[in-house]
A and B are shown apart, each in its own frame.
Chain A
Amino acid sequence: MGNRYLRRLATLFFSLFVISLLSFALIEFSPGGAMARYVENPNISQADRTRMAERFGLDRPAPLRYFIWLRNTVQGDLGTSFMTGRPVLTEILERLPATLKLMTFSFFISIIVAIPIGIYSATHRHSLFDHLAATGSFLGLSLPSFWFGLLMIYIFAIWLNWLPSGGMITPWFDPSAYPLLIRPFVIFWEHTRYLLMPAIVLSLSNIGSWSRYMRSSMLDVISQNYIQTARANGVPERKVVYKHALRNALTPLVTLMGLDLPGFFAGAVVTEQIFAWPGMGRLFISAAGNRDYQVLMGIIMITAVLVLLGNLLADLMYRFLDPRVNYEG
């Protein structure tokens, strides 16, 4: 079994290598290359550009630069941002917690909503609720998230004025202004009220697809023989569903969650933009607009690492939920 994880790890590094090569090539072969954004600036002469290119090491041939980039990256140096002149890693690590906070919160919302809907739809197949859930999931999968976000901002921030329209925390928020007893609640609410709308927007498509998937997975399991056995042995229906069936129905869902992880990051880009959420997605958008290719590379690599680690985690979860896999491997 140790072998198995070594192999997984090797695959992981190979994937990262291919991704880095791919994104490097992508940026390299785009018109104008990394210096394109200075071409239109009349204040920067051709000589200046050459000098800048030299300083960034851009005059060297591409394969060599890739090699240098790779060597630095392995040593934990993702380069320097053109925009700010600061190390890319610092820039990203500053933004990453916000993105992870948003994603974690949204992940839990998705699970808490999607799984019960899926279970109830499966155990009450063809009921009114089941049909409503089916239609609802279609709506969720078809809603443009940015539009839905704007609608929510209009309703809850502008019209009702219940929630802030964007940002992550009130700049002048001071928990010490509240009595000690209610302080934790105040802090919790302060964070939640900013998180709520972006997290819901980000959860939308996940809820749509996960609840459908949970339903069909549950239906699949409920028709299995061992469910019949549990019933025949007098296990009460509630326990049949929530213990015997659920455990088995969750396994495929865990895999799906791992596969949906890239989509989660993609959703975060749009969501962060709408709600002015100071995360990695916003950084990516401004970096793309400014051709800050070191930052772009850095974000892609960090995301890839997170996605691949997430998949690994999903794999471990799967093994935990379904003991058969360990045995056969």
Chain B
Amino acid sequence: MKSGLLYDFWRAFHKNRLAALAGVILLAIFFLAIFAPVFATHNPTYIRLEQEQIKLPPTAAHFIGTDNLGRDIWSRMLFGARISLLVGFLTMIITVIIGVAYGAVSGYYGGKLDFMMMCFVDILLSLPTIFLVIILAAFFKPDFFGIAAIIGMTSWMRTARLVRGQFLSLKEEEFVMAARALGYSNCRIIFVHLLPNVRALIIINATLLIAQAVLLESALSFLGFGVQPPQFSWGSMLSSAQYIVFLKEAPWTAFFPGLAIFITVLCFNFFGEGLRDAWDPKLKNY
């Protein structure tokens, strides 16, 4: 099976150039983030308040200029990528764990339990996620791990729905009956027999979840509720550009980190869509 998935992946991405390109760009971004100290030209947190050092436009010494505290934006973007991506991945892992477990239990047991669990999901879904995220972030003042936990805990509902739907139909299959007849525990059936069947779906969903998490984290940091100084992410780099004066004087400080977020999210989305084409042609929009 594994080789099957990999084979389909390879075949589809060979054809789908856009998704393949997205994958390559993502690898490049990971590479830059991991080896940030190598590629950074300056200390990203080194503040220089001399007049001739702040809000510098792109120059030879500073590729894409400096910000309002005289820090090199290129170097900050490299280190900021670490937090942005880390939060993205951590959030995805937390979301997938909660969402899959919740959805699996709900779908597998069905009946009244399923009804109540899905009722709860519906209620949560009728609240704007960002409200809860902002409250939690404002009250707990978390570090990046905490932010991942907060976003993860408030955005697992759609994943749960998805997995639940799959489980509802899967549990009617004969191999589940067979497993039950053999006396396997429910827990074993869920995780050993059923879960591998939704593997592709979960991976596709996870890729799209990273994209959403990166977006949400950057919005949160932009609003000032995300990672707090001295830590910084792409989103918080844009934060100061909320002030019109600042945007006017040094647009590059807002432009490049935002572009990085945009490209990263776009690549995750394209990559996820490529995976969907490869593994689940049914889900395609024709």
Complex: A in contact with B (CB within 8 Å): yes
Q: Which residues of chain A have a CB within 8 Å of any CB of chain B? A: 15, 18-19, 23, 26-27, 30-32, 36, 125, 138-139, 141-147, 150-151, 153-154, 157-158, 165-166, 212, 215-216, 219, 259, 261-263, 265-266, 269-270, 273-274, 284-285, 288-289, 291, 296, 299-300, 303-304, 307-308, 311
Main secondary structure of the interface of B (DSSP, over half): helix
Stretch at the interface among B51-59, B124-132, B188-196: B124-132
Minimum distance in angstroms from A16 CB to a CB of chain B: 9
Q: Does the CB pair B269–A300 fall under 8 Å?
A: no
Q: Mark B228-242, 1 if CB is under 8 A from A, else 0.
A: 000000010010011
Q: Does the CB pair A142–B139 fall under 8 Å?
A: no
- Check A15/B128 contact, CB under 8 A, given A144-B261, A166-B244: no
Interface residues of B in 121-164 (CB under 8 A from A): 122-123, 125-132, 134-136, 138-140
Asked whether B255 is an interface residue with its Cβ less than 8 Å from the other chain, the reply is yes
Minimum distance in angstroms from A130 CB to a CB of chain B: 10
Main secondary structure of the interface of A (DSSP, over half): helix
Minimum distance in angstroms from B148 CB to a CB of chain A: 18
Q: Which of A32, A299, A311 contacts B126 (CB 8 A)?
A: A311
Q: Does the CB pair A269–B139 fall under 8 Å?
A: no
Q: Which of A142, A266, A300 contacts B265 (CB 8 A)?
A: A142
Q: Does the CB pair B135–A296 fall under 8 Å?
A: yes
Residue in B219, B241, B265 whose Cβ sees the most chain A Cβ within 10 Å: B219
Minimum distance in angstroms from A165 CB to a CB of chain B: 5
Q: Mark B266-281, 1 if CB is under 8 A from A, else 0.
A: 1001100100000000
Closest to B137 in A: A288
Q: Does the CB pair B134–A146 fall under 8 Å?
A: no
B269: A residues at CB distance < 8 A: 138, 141-142
| Interchain CA distance A265-B235 in the complex, whole Å | 20
Minimum distance in angstroms from B249 CB to a CB of chain A: 10
Asked whether B170 is an interface residue with its Cβ less than 8 Å from the other chain, the reply is no
Q: Does the CB pair B127–A144 fall under 8 Å?
A: no
Can you offer 25 A-B residue contacts whose CB atoms are under 8 A? A15-B126, A18-B123, A26-B136, A27-B135, A30-B140, A36-B139, A139-B266, A142-B211, A142-B269, A144-B222, A146-B258, A147-B238, A147-B261, A153-B247, A165-B244, A263-B128, A265-B131, A266-B128, A269-B223, A270-B219, A273-B223, A285-B223, A289-B224, A300-B131, A304-B127
| Interchain CA distance A18-B222 in the complex, whole Å | 30
A138: B residues at CB distance < 8 A: 266, 269-270, 273
Asked whether B225 is an interface residue with its Cβ less than 8 Å from the other chain, the reply is yes
Minimum distance in angstroms from B122 CB to a CB of chain A: 8
Q: Which 6 A-B pairs have the closest CB atoms?
A: A147-B258, A30-B139, A266-B128, A142-B266, A266-B130, A288-B138
Asked whether B110 is an interface residue with its Cβ less than 8 Å from the other chain, the reply is no
Q: Which residues of chain B have a CB within 8 Å of any CB of chain A? A: 120, 122-123, 125-132, 134-136, 138-140, 211, 215, 218-219, 222-225, 235, 238, 241-242, 244, 247-248, 251, 254-255, 258-259, 261-262, 265-266, 269-270, 273, 285-286
Q: Does the CB pair A144–B270 fall under 8 Å?
A: no
B235: A residues at CB distance < 8 A: 144
| Interchain CA distance A153-B132 in the complex, whole Å | 28
Closest to A16 in B: B123
Minimum distance in angstroms from B180 CB to a CB of chain A: 34
Closest to A258 in B: B126
Q: Does the CB pair B265–A147 fall under 8 Å?
A: no
Minimum distance in angstroms from A155 CB to a CB of chain B: 10
| Interchain CA distance A153-B211 in the complex, whole Å | 25
B262: A residues at CB distance < 8 A: 142-144, 147
| Interchain CA distance A285-B225 in the complex, whole Å | 9
Q: Which of A145, A265, A273, A284 contacts B242 (CB 8 A)?
A: A273
B258: A residues at CB distance < 8 A: 144, 146-147, 150-151
Closest to B215 in A: A144
- Check A308/B126 contact, CB under 8 A, given A30-B140, A125-B286, A165-B244: yes
